[in-house]
Amino acid sequence: MKLVRGMAVRRGRERELRVMSISIPRDMVWTLIVFIAVNLTLYLILLPLFPEGLLDQPYTFKVAFAVDMVLNFSVGVCVLLPTRRPAFMALGGLLTVLVDLDHSLSLLGFTAPSRPNHSLLFLTLLIIALLLTVRKLEYVFTACAAFFAQLTMDITNFPLLYPLIPARMEFPNPTMSLVWFTIALTFGFLAAIKMKGRP
Ligand SMILES: [Zn+2]
């Protein structure tokens, strides 16, 4: 097997991380790291604060969850189609799946809070963190698109306005799914506009 080596190289003004023969933009790696860090940090902070009534039983339907992941990834890719860049589509798909990191404990067999990060609080903190670290709007828009792509699949039953309204909110379906998808796609277009004309 070819040796995997990480090496930062300069190409024009863009720094890239070379892993084997695939070049991954450095900002893309950072977006992924920041997304996971904000998600898990907020989840751990909210664990003791989350209302009892919103605890999830240990998740046992692992096959259903795997199917869910594939669907989430596909919607994430779809909403980033306007960028016409496979790397951004893949990033969108991956981030859409990763919103569900706030299911991790119930997936591991514990009774734990469900979906505290399916909230505008998470989205706001994520935007701030990305603006402070990656500092490129196309990545911020991609992350926003992924967040709303995740809501498209969940449709309803998440605490969107936590902590203002700690309860899970019920939205009319499928109207709301269409609304989330439209918002996600709008962010996909914004990402495309932002990177237009760049190599
Ligand atoms: Zn979800």
Q: Which three-class secondary structure string do you get for 6-62?
A: EEEEEECCEEEEEECCEEEEHHHHHHHHHHHHHHHHHHHHHCCCCCHHHEECCCCCH
Structure-token pair, residue 17: 């991380």
Where b means 16+ CB within 10 Å and e means fewer, 134-157 reads bebebbbbbbbbbbbbbbbbbbbe
Q: What is the model's pLDDT at position 199?
A: 67
Q: What is the model's pLDDT at position 55?
A: 73
pTM above 0.75, yes or no: yes
Q: What is the model's pLDDT at position 1?
A: 44
Ligand 1 centroid to Cα of residue 135, in Å, is 26
Ligand 1 centroid to Cα of residue 70, in Å, is 12
Ligand 1 centroid to Cα of residue 128, in Å, is 21
Ligand 1 centroid to Cα of residue 1, in Å, is 36
Q: What is the model's pLDDT at position 64?
A: 77
Ligand 1 centroid to Cα of residue 19, in Å, is 30
Stated length of the chain: 199
Ligand 1 centroid to Cα of residue 99, in Å, is 7
Mean pLDDT by 10 residues, the chain (199 residues): 46 54 81 97 86 71 82 97 96 96 81 84 97 96 97 82 81 84 98 86
Map tokens 């499928």 to a residue. Answer: 174
Q: What is the model's pLDDT at position 48?
A: 82
Ligand 1 centroid to Cα of residue 11, in Å, is 37
Q: What is the model's pLDDT at position 66?
A: 84
Q: What is the model's pLDDT at position 32?
A: 97
Q: Phi/psi at 129 (nearest 5 deg)?
A: -60, -40
Q: What is the model's pLDDT at position 139?
A: 97
Q: What is the model's pLDDT at position 182?
A: 97
Side-chain-facing half-sphere of 124: CA atoms under 13 Å: 7
Ligand 1 centroid to Cα of residue 85, in Å, is 25
Q: What is the model's pLDDT at position 5?
A: 47
